[in-house]
Amino acid sequence: MKKIVLLSILALLISPFTNLKAQETIKKNGYTLTFESNFDALNPQLKKRLMETFFIVYPKLAKEYNPKTLKAVKFFVDTAYKGVAATSDGKVTFSSIWMVKHPEDIDVVTHEVMHIVQDYGNSVGPGWLTEGIADYARYKFGVDNEGAKWALPALKPEHSYKNSYRITARFFAWIEKNVKAGTIKTVDASLRDHSYTNEIWTKLTGKDLDALWADYVKNPAL
């Protein structure tokens, strides 16, 4: 019994130092990244790439969309999280399972930190728009989408601009190239200051979303 108690006390004494070893903080060019993980088998090179990608893309996203975005961000690789990644309150949680299966998918960082930059709060905008913009940012600023075999999908008859993620992102890329550059940046800003309405598309491009999508379907080439 005494042996068990002693071992328990020892574990409590050791665990804080173990947690400290799992945390690393780097400051660079005005931004701070704190990296934590409860995944002992995390590849050190993958950890390095995740952190490097942050310092490459986050300043670019901040400059392009929201210079007032958070200066300090946290990454956490979590063995308990079963999705791909999720972002809340300046913290990105990555699934250790996804990292093991898809170590090449480094631009999951780009998508997730774009959510921090977006900072819509209690936005009046729809979810498909939020995720579409985040994937558009990945398309535009990603460091190795090709290495991850990540690309915008070809248009299919069943697609809609409300499908979100890459399908919506491709539509946005088409708008930027063929209709009016800067549209997505302006829409993003309207979501952040809570002035977004569907009418913004007509104001910016002369056509509503349905009309824009109809034109896109006729000639979807990028």
Bridging pattern class, strands 31-37 and 85-88: unpaired
pLDDT tens by residue, 73-114: 999 999 999 999 999 999 999 999 999 999 999 999 999 999
Q: Rounded to a whole number, what is the distance in angstroms from the first to the last CA of the chain?
A: 71
- Please name which of 166, 73, 88, 76 lies closest in space to residue 120, comparing C-alpha atoms: 88
The CATH H-level (homologous superfamily) assignment of domain 22-119 is Neutral Protease Domain 2 (1.10.390.10)
pLDDT at 6 over 50: no
Q: Which amino acid is at 221?
A: A
Fill in the DSSP letter of residue 153: P
Dist CA 25 CA 35 (whole Å): 6
| Mean of pLDDT over the chain | 91
Which residue ranges make up each domain of the chain? 22-119, 123-222
- pTM comes to 0.89
**198: amino acid identity, one letter:** N
Mean pLDDT of 140-161: 98
Q: How far apart are CA 180 and CA 197, in angstroms?
A: 18
* 126 phi and psi angles, rounded to 5 deg: -75, 155
Check whether 208 has a pLDDT greater than 80. yes
**How far is residue 54's CA from residue 159's CA, in Å, rounded to a whole number?**
31
Using the predicted structure, report yes or no on whether residue 18 has a pLDDT greater than 70: no
**Model confidence pLDDT, tens digit, residues 115-139:** 999 999 987 789 999 999 999 999 9
Q: Is the pLDDT of residue 22 over 90?
A: no
Identify the pLDDT of residue 61.
Answer: 98
Answer whether 86's CB lies under 8 Å from 34's CB.
no
Closest by CA position to 218, among listed 170, 155, 166, 169? 155
